[in-house]
A and B are shown apart, each in its own frame.
Chain A
Amino acid sequence: MFDFSIVTQWFHALLLSFLPEGVAVFLECVIIGLFLLLLYALLACALIFMERKVCAAYQCRLGPNRVGPWGIFQVFADVLKMLTKEIIEIRHADRLLYNLAPYIVVVASVLAFSCLPINKGMEILDFHVGVFFMMAASSIGVVGILLAGWSSNNKYSLIGAMRSGAQMISYELSIGLSIMTVVMLTDTMQFSQIVERQADCWFIFKGHIPALIAFVIYLIAGNAETNRGPFDLPEAESELTAGYHTEYSGMHFGLFYVAEFVNMFIVAGMAATIFLGGWMPFHIPGLDGFNAVMDYIPGFVWFFAKAFFVVFLLMWIKWTFPRLRVDQILHLEWKYLVPIGLVNMLLMAVIVVFNWHF
């Protein structure tokens, strides 16, 4: 398996050869930041394009097909349009919070995004309580959404924000429980370690029944966390026109939009990392030849393939199901997912104690 840390270490040594250490580290941080933002933006474009094509396929349509081959430049054209649009200042809005809200949402999602281990040695933020950090960082997003709804001075926005608050805070619980279930199996919260421990077998196979249950709960809760259908009621367009971002225009709206898509990728990437082995190739214990061939496929390909597979699952769900109602969402969480998650955690504890996993 190619270790990307060879490249980073070489680059670090190169910079040190003619720069003092402080400057070198600063320069590296800037480069990594730029790389991160670029990847973030490109991923958002790729996801938007994928969403449009996937939903078109489900709906017996073609989707974008005019701008560039297969319409691949459509999204870039849209981004360009969005960038040139006026950001409308609305009266009676809390100016500061109104302008701040989209950035809080984006910052939260960039922070969470930087936790994803893309390849071996390519972790950007990687420390002992990585799982905790990721969950804490992604929870900041709900503050941005609440602020957006509240500061817009619009009744639809406010209802959307309240729904979103209730929904995201509730479902955070399920996400936490399902991740904790796996953490029990791993003994670590560091993402690079979590992936390393799946070298022989992915956790979804290793933890069998409880891991599978945790995976399903995680997918449901992750879908709800990203405010996507059937849990898209904070922005339910047929009820609240656009929910919390009704009053936003131009790139401020664009930031919400981009953050929503990357959040979906974060949820999918996290599922890939924790349950499906992250950048770890697919190995079958005993079949050494097969495993060796699998090892030739680079780690980031594995990671993106798994993440996009989960993204596809999420899109499939979104374009199939109708929207839930707010009380039904909370029923589902508090009456079903949380109790099941708790019992599941207990089950995992038993399995770990008696060493019944693979």
Chain B
Amino acid sequence: MISNEIIAIPVAEYHDRMQQLRNEGYDFLESLTGMDWGDSLGVVCHLESTTTGAHIVVKTATEDREHPELPTVSDIWKAAELNEREVYGFFGVRFVGHPDMRRLFLREDWVGYPLRKDYDASPEVNPVRMTNEETLDSTPTYQLNADGKLEEKVNVIFEDGEYVINIGPQHPATHGVLRFRVSLEGEIIKKLDVNCGYIHRGIEKMCESLTYPQTLALTDRLDYLAAMHNRHALCMCIEQAAGIEVSDRVQYIRTIMDELQRIDSHLLFFSCLCMDLGALTAFFYGFRDREKILDIFEGTCGGRLILNYNTIGGVQADIAPDFVRKVKEFIAYLRPQLKEYHDVFTNNVIARQRLTGVGVLSREDAISFGATGATGRAAGWACDVRKRMPYGVYDRVDFREVLFTEGDCFARYMVRMEEIEESMRIIEQLIDNIPEGPYQTKTKPVIRIPEGSYYAAVEASRGEFGVFIESRGDKSPYRMKFRSTGLPLVSAIGTIARGAKIADLIAIGGTLDYVVPDIDR
């Protein structure tokens, strides 16, 4: 459980204090949230030490709203790189020393900063533009010069003569509308530039005008392969903040559902990776078996992809009468299928060659980028939230945190394949012991959260999914931030893919297994 206390740091000391914290062992920047404090703008940083497990939350504020400037921490944690660009785009905070101050999600000609409280959302200000946004090969950057003055410089991303190809936004292997610009030398990748925001829906902004129960509807639409996890995290955060107790039955159901969702996601990962690598038959095997999980979900939740299951204080409906039987049947069915997957794909010599030793991400880089989930565990970083900060009933079940040390594509693949087995073990331990009890705790008709800030995290299908709520005691949040599981993965891809071949980029993208609606929230 993360303490909700926030240490305020004045802006002048911000960079030095952050560096100091980094030296003290806080090497994992969990989340960096932009904030509109009213009279000033600022950021909230959640830090964690991967050695001691200690947490610290730090906030800072700019001096004024007209010229909001903060020193960058992207030189301390690489995870800050894209997060600070996001904050720049939404709050207009310029990060001094950041090498790349483009907006991450918005068009360059966007007027205003949408997540500021005084933002003018009228359509006249930002009409639907009928012109193409020109992609620039250079980026502004703000640096302090010798006499302490701010100076705008230009960083060149791609030189004029470089052979740059677009991979995405419409491309079969980007798994959605993500766009890479890749500079090639023959088949070898020299540089990679990520362009996000094609399906950004402004969910965080929308949440600010919704009541807490209403915000639940949006989380399923983030990472749709971790719909259960996302909503679990949000419900948990609200429950902890509002002091709502949930019954044991709900905890059991939520845990089982989370694990089913994880299997679902990993099966889809297997299928898509196979398809990306050209093994089209294995793709169908994975989808065939995933269908069975969706049927189980449908029986209980009514939905197959958008599940709308968790609610504040419980779940939407009790489990279906045949749920337990179907889950047991499914697990009995999946075990031999997994062996088939290994026969048809894992042990194939070509698959091995395509994955082994390709796209290595070191443990240090994984932590620095905040690349949690299977990506981090493949690099040897024990980053499983289920073990780090147990929630649900994970402290009562016996399961292994799958760890590899190679950090290559094959390790990432194997982590997920073995996690399917661990998930099945967890479900087996729980499925027969679901205690009796109410599936929904009675809550007040209007849920208000006491003033303060709250953070809760779950282990979603592809890493730590966190929810950060800043409340002013209202029935809707003052600021709600979702820690994306995919954004750190995408920010790391430039480092991982450098020097690899185009075909490797596809394998790397496949094994990182990002989901775009989760990156573009």
Contacts and interface: CB of A to CB of B under 8 A. Distances in A.
Contact of B285 (A60, A322, A326): A60
B173 to A, nearest CB: 4
Interface string B15-58: 00000000000000000000000000000000000000000000
A210 interface: no
A306 B130 CA distance: 59
Interface string B309-342: 0000000000000000000000000000000000
B348 A325 contact: no
Contacts of A236: 278, 503
Interface stretch (B82-90, B237-245, B269-277, B361-369): B269-277
A328 B504 CA distance: 12
B351 interface: yes
Interface string B272-313: 001111111111110010000000000000000000000000
B137 interface: no
Contact of B350 (A230, A237, A238): A230
A55 B173 contact: no
Given A155-B163, A230-B350, A238-B172, A319 B280 contact: yes
Contact of B501 (A156, A240, A323, A325): A325
Contacts, number: 84
A141 B510 CA distance: 33
Contacts of B190: none
Contact of A321 (B276, B279, B506): B279
B483 to A, nearest CB: 29
Contacts of B173: 238-239
Classify the interface of chain B: helix, strand, loop or mixed.
helix
Contact of B284 (A61, A232, A233): A61
A5 interface: no
A167 to B, nearest CB: 12
A239 B344 contact: no
Contacts of B163: 155
Contact of B278 (A61, A156, A232, A327): A232
A233 B282 CA distance: 18
Given A241-B171, A327-B501, A328-B353, A322 B279 contact: yes
B371 to A, nearest CB: 23
Given A58-B281, A59-B280, A238-B172, A326 B187 contact: yes
B279 A60 contact: no
A163 B184 CA distance: 14
B288 A323 contact: no
Contacts of A233: 503
Interface in A304-328: 319-328
Given A156-B165, A321-B348, A322-B354, A60 B288 contact: yes
Contacts of B344: 320
A239 B277 CA distance: 9
A319 B279 CA distance: 7
A229 interface: yes
A159 interface: yes
A3 B306 CA distance: 68
Interface in A339-354: none
A61 to B, nearest CB: 7
A323 B350 contact: yes
A163 B173 CA distance: 19
Interface in B162-213: 163, 165, 171-173, 184, 187
Nearest to B279: A322
Contacts of A319: 280-281
Nearest to A59: B284
Interface in B251-277: 274-277
Interface core residue of B281, B501, B506 (most chain A CB under 10 Å)? B281
Contact of B281 (A156, A232, A239, A320): A320
Given A319-B281, A325-B503, A327-B501, A159 B187 contact: yes
B506 A324 contact: no
Given A323-B279, A324-B350, 10 more contacts: A59-B281, A59-B284, A59-B285, A156-B165, A163-B187, A319-B280, A322-B279, A323-B277, A325-B354, A326-B503
The 7 closest A-B pairs by CB, nearest first: A323-B278, A322-B279, A59-B284, A322-B277, A238-B173, A325-B503, A155-B165
22 contacts: A59-B281, A59-B283, A60-B288, A61-B284, A159-B187, A163-B187, A229-B280, A232-B278, A238-B276, A238-B278, A239-B502, A322-B274, A322-B278, A323-B278, A323-B350, A324-B353, A325-B353, A325-B354, A325-B503, A325-B504, A326-B187, A328-B353
